Structure 1
Amino acid sequence: MKRVMNSGQTLVAESLAGFVAAHEDLVAFGGGGRFLRRRALKPGKVALISGGGGGHEPLHGGFIGTGMLDAACTGHIFTSPTPDQILAAMDETDTGAGCLLVVKNYDGDVMNFEMAAEMAAPRHRIDMVVVEDDAAYGPSVRSRGRRGVAGTIVVEKILGAAAERGDDLAALKTLGEGLSPRLRSMGVALRGVTVPDNARETFALGSDEMEIGVGIHGEPGLSRQRLASADEIVRLICAPILDQLPVAEGLHPLLIVNGFGGTPPIELHLAYGLARRFLEAEGVMPRRSLVGTFVTSLDMAGFSVTLALLTEEEFALWCAPVATPVLAW
């Protein structure tokens, strides 16, 4: 597998250096280069900190800025950031209101963020929201319970807007946990992931196969099936999402179609159109939408669909102004 890189060992660090240089008006290195941070911190605001392994770009660094994250910690490819990275981020971005850690539900991420929180407890007020939005609920080599996948964008945006308006730590924790039952995602892969260090695919698919319910680290899904039409693929991933969500009056649907890194925009917009048609036929009318490549699995070909059913307050927070390298409105 050919890549634009000097080596697998330096890929993440060199990519982050280029990212900071490209977005220096919004993002800077913190902690001597151990994490990325918002260039201009807002005093007295709860610091929102997230992170994960490299290979998921633009998550999380792409969402640093006004109305979203204050810091993002990045580990090696598909490897959790270390507790000292997270601790350094808390020390540098806490301006007096404490820190909220937004953590995807993977064993390594949860363990390292919890360890960092314990280390920082004597000098910071800290709480944590764990994102668990994967509708492909089943045995996983990396997590217990639902995995945190593309729904992480929704959590970071809504909590970021609430922190920006001045919500305190307890209110942010309540808001994040309240969103969880109304947020689901599911993905499909047409090709596995090639990890730079070993140049091997995490799973291999035949030319006529697809994997339903994949994770964002190249984990196999719930089932391997014969490649189907786009209509059938969308049905296979949207139907379980609807089955798990409490559709009710007064909620505002947000629909996201997210590419995994190896899927072109022409296919993502096709998938969005089909997903929207499927949902509308089921009586779910999206009020806001997002289509693009946001939470990747390196070069995996495929996409995920995320549906969030937002309360009036959550919907207003989603629509609130944001200025990051990836999202800006």
Structure 2
Amino acid sequence: MAIYYSPPGTSPRRLLFDPQTSTWQYLVADPASHTAAIIDPVLDYNPTTRTVSTTTADALLSLIHDRGYTISHILETHAHADHLTAAFYLQRRLAAVTQETRPPVGIGRRIGQLQSLFGERYGVGSDEYNGVFDLLWEDDAVFWVGGLRGQVVHLPGHTPDHVGYWIGDNVFCGDSLFHPSLGTARCDFPGGNPQDLYQSARKLLALQDHVKIWIGHDYPVDGERGPEPWTTVGEHRGSNKHIRDGVTEDEFVQMRSERDRNLAAPRLIHESLQVNIRAGQLPRVDAAGMRTLKVPLKVQGEGW
């Protein structure tokens, strides 16, 4: 089993950490069959110029081409609120290159709750998000990446649709846990719940100590360390800032609730949610020839 991420000293083509959004994306491969799956891919977005580009996704495509892999799945852990997904772009490009059936995009079956919620909030019609995901995973569903057995693990708390992917002795946990020095993800998004996140974290930490937990983001303090994609279950049990052994559910809920009240919204939350409920498809071109995303205004002062 091969997992591509961004170890120190590797070439740029293996650089799968996006520093603009502090996001880890992964390529998990079965070398025997040359089959691989993509997890949580990133679409580049410049909020100043409001420009979408594909540099990061194209680097991933180059890696796939260089290794001669066939992609069996594109896997999303949840509807991200901090970066745009490249799932749709990659799906189309991979299908065009191979002239084969496009690889399916999979996500937890509860995504429909968030599609309806955010579709209404941003004025996105249901015809733009119904059916955009090819696979709506049931809890504990089993899938295969070549000869590698994968299993879907429901991990609610950060969002209600959140899942992880357990492949071999590795769990790709999305935004459930972070590096032990950082703790856990926030729970203040619609449908988020600190009690659920506590139970999801304890589910992960009930695995064997040697199992690797691969995270969705890392935010290292400058100079302290570089971004690290994984830590073992044993390390989390011993030293995770928020959820190590001995932390009770009541303690965790109180800490997480107080902390979340003071957190600012993610910088790309509005753009991300509108694109991600569409599985990475961009808004349709309107009568004026533009693709448009809605960004709400905050109004200060009186007299408006």
Asked if these proteins are the same fold (TM beyond 0.5), I'd say: no
Greater helix share, 1 or 2? 1
In the superposition, the TM-score normalised over structure 1's length comes to 0.33
